Structure 1
Amino acid sequence: MKNTDLTKKIKELRAKMGLSQGELADITQLNLRTVQRIENGETEPHGDSLKRLANALNVLPNDLIEWTEKEDRGLLVFLNLSALAFIAFPLMGVIVPLTIYMLKKDQVKNINETGKRLLNFQITWCLLIFLSYILFFCLLFLHLDIPVHLNIGAVGAPEVIILGAILYYGVNGFLIIFNAIRSYQGKQVIYQPAIRFLR
């Protein structure tokens, strides 16, 4: 984004609220010179300064700054692909994207929606995998009676659970790559099924 666009946006919002630069500096607890430099296009607010300005002007940081498609798409693709860390350990498919999401959530347009959908899906997926593991070990080591309806031909319940886990991994990997491509194309991601832990 060009500095002139940000300058114009901040000035317009400040004027609409009837605030002087000094009053905006007081509300945001930023130095008056910092506010002046931002409005003159000499510097761009990032991180905490951006959040403070957005809060003072009653807008979201994403509304205050419109990021370019290239920046937006590149980070969103990276965010999606970071979930492939589940291959090393299922919980890593949550931890790695969550870290990226928390670091960039107020800096890139559309990252909030993409991040929440991805994380909701990964958390749901992890729960299903861990429940499958628990069920598998209960059946295997506790020698629990296997209900007849879980048997498929010569394949018993433990085998069905193993095949289910392989299917879970395959679907997860496919959806991550599918949604990374959708993010690159500027489309909204589709992660289903997912429980909405993050709203």
Structure 2
Amino acid sequence: MKTKMDVKVLGEKLKTLRLKKGFSQDELAESAGVSLRTVQRFENAETIPRGDTVKRLFQIFGMSPDEVLDWSQTEDKGFLLGMNLSGLIFLVFPLLGVVLPLVLWISRKDKIAGVSELGRKLVNFQLTWTLLYYVGVTIYGWSYKYFMLGGNGDISPSSVEGVVWFRMGMVLTIYVIVSVMIAWNTYRINKELSVKYFPKINFLK
């Protein structure tokens, strides 16, 4: 929900763009298909405009809905840092490493600038490696049952050792990748750079 301050910021941005392009309020209203009174009240922050009205007015100047939305959001680097670091819960419980960032993303995506981009990239990254983790655990379980319970009951120590090392290597590799990427992007957020999570599958667009 937009606050009075959000509406004031949007109104000022609209007025700045309109004057820069040499549009009168009447010309802008006609081009966007809204009333002159709507434009006047919007620029003066006298009312909270509907979402479709905001988009129609700003699209006259080639602004995308996402760019318009960013203007009504607050800056909160601390939240972005905390949200990014929440992915480290993966080291304790992999599935929670997806759920916690997802909840934080949904709760603030329309309120804090940068949350939508970070949330999408972080959750896709966590989903990718959580899936790999559980696929690896499943393969380990099958291998363990095969070598420990299969055949005529004879167990080869080297086979069992190989299975154990497979699990340890898999888990360690995934944990290192997740930890390094989260640490690197925490640094990037702190330096106000864009986040870059890879490799990942873009499950969520």
TM over 0.5: yes
- 1:138 is displaced (CA, Å) by 0.5
- 2:196 is the alignment partner of 1:190: yes
Change in 2 beyond 3 A, CA 1:196/1:67: same
Q: Distance in 1 between matches of 2:201 and 2:6?
A: 39
Aligned to 2:141: 137
AA partner of residue 176 (structure 2): G
- 2:110 is the alignment partner of 1:106: yes
- 2:137 is the alignment partner of 1:127: no
User: In the TM superposition, what whole-angstrom CA distance separates every residue of 1:10-37 from its partner, at most 9, and x where no partner exists?
Assistant: 45569487338xx859xxxxxx99x94x
Change in 2 beyond 3 A, CA 1:141/1:153: closer
Aligned to 1:60: 65
Gaps of 5+ in 2: 152-157
Q: Aligned Cα RMSD in Å?
A: 3.7
Aligned to 2:81: 77
Q: Work out whether residues 6 and 65 of structure 1, in 8 Å CA contact, stay in contact via their aligned partners in 2.
A: no
Change in 2 beyond 3 A, CA 1:138/1:109: same
AA partner of residue 66 (structure 1): W
Gaps of 5+ in 1: 26-31, 146-151
Q: Distance in 1 between matches of 2:72 and 2:103?
A: 21
- Normalising to structure 2: TM-score of the pair? 0.68
Partner SS state of residue 188, structure 1: coil
AA partner of residue 63 (structure 1): V
AA partner of residue 192 (structure 1): F
Q: Distance in 2 between matches of 1:16 and 1:189?
A: 41
- 1:161 is displaced (CA, Å) by 2.2
Q: Distance in 2 between matches of 1:99 and 1:17?
A: 43
- The correspondence for 1:170, drawn from 165, 176, 181, is 176
Q: Distance in 2 between matches of 1:188 and 1:110?
A: 9
1:143-154 alignment runs, 5 A limit = 143=147
Q: Distance in 1 between matches of 2:199 and 2:112?
A: 25
Aligned to 1:19: 29
Q: Work out whether residues 10 and 72 of structure 2, in 8 Å CA contact, stay in contact via their aligned partners in 1.
A: no
AA partner of residue 71 (structure 2): E
Partner SS state of residue 28, structure 2: coil
